[in-house]
Structure 1
Amino acid sequence: MYHIYGRKNFMRKFIFEFFRKIVSNGVILIILLFTFGIIGSHYIMDLDLIDSIYYAVITMAAVGYGDFYPTTAIQKMFAVTLALGGVGFLAYIFNVILTNFQERMSKYSKGVRKMRFIEHIDNYYILCGYGRVGKVVHKELNQRKQNVIIIEKNEEICEDIKEDSSTIVLNKDATEDNLIAKLAAEKCKSVIISTGDDVTNLFIVLTIREINPDAWIVTRASKTENFKRLRKAGADKVVSPEIIGGKDLYLESAKPHLLRLTVQHTTDEILNEFKIISKHGCTLENIDYHFPGIESPLSRTIKSMNMEDGKQFWKFLNNNKEAKDSLNNLYDSVNNIHSHWISGPNKKTLEELIKDLEKRETIIGKNLTDKEISELTKKEKSRE
């Protein structure tokens, strides 16, 4: 289906660019030379209008049937000028045609290769728009080694984006056709729409939702009054990067694969947690510490999936008694109850992660609200 789309789009753009270049460059030059040839043939070669047109054409085309001969010096110079000009301009026109054709064929071939590559990617995010916010979102995704398909209509911006095995860049307008809706299929984890135009975002949401009702769509909104419109159009989440930033836009898009796991254990299990989380290729995003009777937790940003981070932190604690005592005091204050925000590549991986963690520590609940956790901490406190 991608190949059919690519051929149609290629032919349309090729024809448009072809005529645009020819009309704006070559045709104007040919017309000027042809006009010069007719006027010169009439006044220099002493030919009538019809013969002037005929002589100008055969001389410019370097045919020269020999039925009209230049005899004087000025006539010969005129014929030479007209012939050389005609050959030169015709060569230029053919060069423009061939160069344009080669460029279009190269882009078309590159586009087909990208589509074939996409067909073999198991899981990926779609990022529409690579502006200020889109760059931040892409950075967050890239840090977590996620596959990303970037759709950006600005060709210059696309050229500046570094492509690799996990990042594919498509220089297309997401509002033009149904390509983005087709890409937002089962293998797509989430569609992140980060353009700065709410109307464009709305159109993209409608396009995707019409064909793919199950896609998880997160969109940016520049104006708060457009939140409701975007939700009604089918967006699962509407966020304002100006308020929460690009990182939170990523976290919202990862909701189907983001887990809040409330656990109870001492500081002795910290390193084992890191081992299990890194083993499953997941990222420990944040940790919330729940104080009894206080609904709002104390949050720490971690954003780590590297086992080396865990080893370094564990080494730091063992070499710094004050730091370890402070952390132990914090754990004692919350009765060792805290929540891990963990993002993973898919739901199945998170389920396997939970099974492994259950062998090492007490799991109180999954995706509990602050209010629910607050009630649990009150009960835990009352038992003491």
Structure 2
Amino acid sequence: MPEETSDFLPGKRSRPGSVSLPERVRSPWWQLSRRLLLATAILVGTVLLVYVDRHGYRDTAHPHRPLTLIDAVYYTTVTLSTTGYGDIAPVAEHARLINAFVITPARIGFLVLLIGTTLEVLATRGRELIRVSRWRKKMGHHVVVVGYGTKGRSAVETLLRKGHDREDIVVVDPSSTALADAHADGLAVVSGDATRREVLNRAGVGKADQIIITTDRDDSNVLATLTVRQLNPDAWIVSAVREHENAPLMKQSGADSVITSSDAVGRLLGLSSVSPTLGAVMEDLLTYGAGLEVAERDLMVGEVGKQPQQLADQVIAVVRDEKVFRYYDPVVTTLSRGDRLIVVRPAKELPWAPRPGTHGEEFAAADES
């Protein structure tokens, strides 16, 4: 995302690896127009003020003639620009007071507007450095998403719907388009190539709990996974690959979970072709927020000792001792404390389909022994 830092102004590029936080900004044309209007208002207002009080001024070239409108324009421009030739000067006391308490502040405002662009750039840069510093201090136990294309955006959307805060998600991507999309979604962005250690360090990979790697190239995903694993041996890494034959290599690189995008899409296309209804159900399971969803939840006290088929949720797998067993496996015929359930349930609770674990029930934690 080498296009800009905080303001996202056209043509303004950020350094590779720089941190860019989302910020509401206005069009540069809007800001320029506003400054021009303010400068014009000061200029016109001062001209009118001098012209109305023209009898309080004296022109050394024509000492007995009142100031004309052209004289007022001339005096205003040389005064506001601090040129001050001195050929026209206030002689009346009230004119001098007006110059001291009205025209002098107007002159200062006019000069600030003239150098406003430079001042704003400096102020924006300083403000951005402060914001990034505060962000770094709060950063930890967050999620890093490498690549903000279609898969990355879908992953972030799922995380947000599952309760993650936007402040706890950091995007790493070198694309200016991804930068704009991530900022529009209110996400912090680290601009640069995720295969470089310094870029990943800026994203706080060493303190992250989870890293999702989903670029468009399998070789980049493998190298990013290797680098991430070196920086953070304990993080949970989920990586995507386009081709199935690259999945074992991704596992060897340190990924805890590997998703083969081409195979998944191909299977869904095949299912929809062979059995449109089955394809519709699979699409329903993959669509968050409506219909059915696949979820993982803790076992509750009232469910200990039961069979998976006896629970209110449709159990499809049981996680025991970090291993996943299908619901019909003899090992999990009877549910025990510490088990976790992979279930299919309504995406939203319905009166006739309550969702266990959401009404203050006590969970069955593993025995301390």
Q: TM-score, normalised by structure 2?
A: 0.43
Q: TM-score, normalised by structure 1?
A: 0.41
Higher share in helix: 1
